[in-house]
Amino acid sequence: MTAIRAARAVAITSIFVSAALGLAMIVIGLKAHSTSVVSDGIESATDVLTSGIVLIGLIVATKPPDAEHPYGHGRLETLMGLFVGLIITVAGSLICFRSLQLLSQTEPPPSFFGVWPLIASILVKGVSALIKWRYSRKSRSSGLSADAWNDTMDTLSGCTALAGLSLALYDPKRFLSADHIGGAAVGLIVIFLGFHVIRDTALQLMDTMPSPEALREIREAAMSVPGALRIEKCFARKTGLQYHVDLHLEVDPAMTVFESHEIATKVRERIRDRLDWVADVLVHVEPHSLATISSRHGKP
């Protein structure tokens, strides 16, 4: 839970930082007549909404299971990540459309002071992305991971906007449109990010299995319990911040129901103790093949 609280603090801080940065870039961008700066500022302003959505998801995801939600409320956190992806895609489309519209209009050349908010944005978003990546891995938060991707692409879009503005400042007569093209490029980068986030969260909602390494860790933890002879099947699905596991465990068929139940309980407890990213384990007990058991005991 410490990682979850830290993730919440990161999301709250991100809201205030994005609001201040977005407002400053829009105001300075308008005064500097820079489409690239304004586009990047609008993108930062949308981060206020996305970080707020992530925060709501993190708060609700930690609510304990109840009668109507026996698997907990974690799926809402994944849904919030999907919502973030949709907002990012729409914002990128609007930025791209408006920047391309300005290509046909006569605009005064941008001012040099428009460079400074872009440099500040690149530095702030770069640091923010690193922090969010760290805590998204610790908390296994889909929403915070989506927000980390958002800040990562913000850094790239800031560099793109800075390149377009720099060309326009270098030679306004020849490269005045570079500032508008830079704004459109920012929009395309944001759209790409939105599709990436939508894809990742959609795969989780479709109960995509975890990585082979994660499944191997589950199997190894289960097989470390004495009496566990074989894992027939192992399924896992992410329900927000953690995984729920379905395990088919083979035991000696000569055991009593009580003995096999005790082994299944120990397997469940061992997996949850070793792997903090597993919320619960449902163990199905199956009889192991007699031929394999006989060979293990040295019988003909």
Q: What is the CA radius of gyration of the chain?
A: 26
Pairing assessment for the beta strands 278-287 and 230-238 based on DSSP bridges? unpaired
Report pTM. Answer: 0.65
Every domain range in the chain assigned CATH 3.30.70.1350? 212-296
Q: What confidence score (pLDDT) does residue 295 get? A: 45
* Rounded Cα distance, 3 and 256, in Å: 42
pLDDT at 227: 93
Q: Where in the chain is the domain with CATH 1.20.1510.10?
A: 2-205
pLDDT of res. 300: 43
Instruction: Please check whether residue 38 is in contact with residue 26, taking contact to mean a CB–CB distance below 8 angstroms.
Output: yes
Q: Which residues contact 268 (CB under 8 A, 6 or more apart)?
A: 280, 281, 283
pLDDT of residue 197: 81
Q: Mean pLDDT of residues grouped by 10 in the chain (300 residues)?
A: 72 85 88 82 79 79 80 79 84 82 72 86 88 81 76 82 83 76 80 84 84 93 94 88 90 92 95 91 87 46
CB atoms within 10 A of CB 259: 13
Q: What is the 3-state secondary structure (H, E, C) of 271-299?
A: HHHHCCCEEEEEEEEEECCHHHHHHHCCC
Q: Is the CATH code 1.10.3720.10 the one for domain 2-205?
A: no
Assess if CATH 3.30.70.1350 describes domain 212-296: yes
pLDDT the model gives residue 73? 79
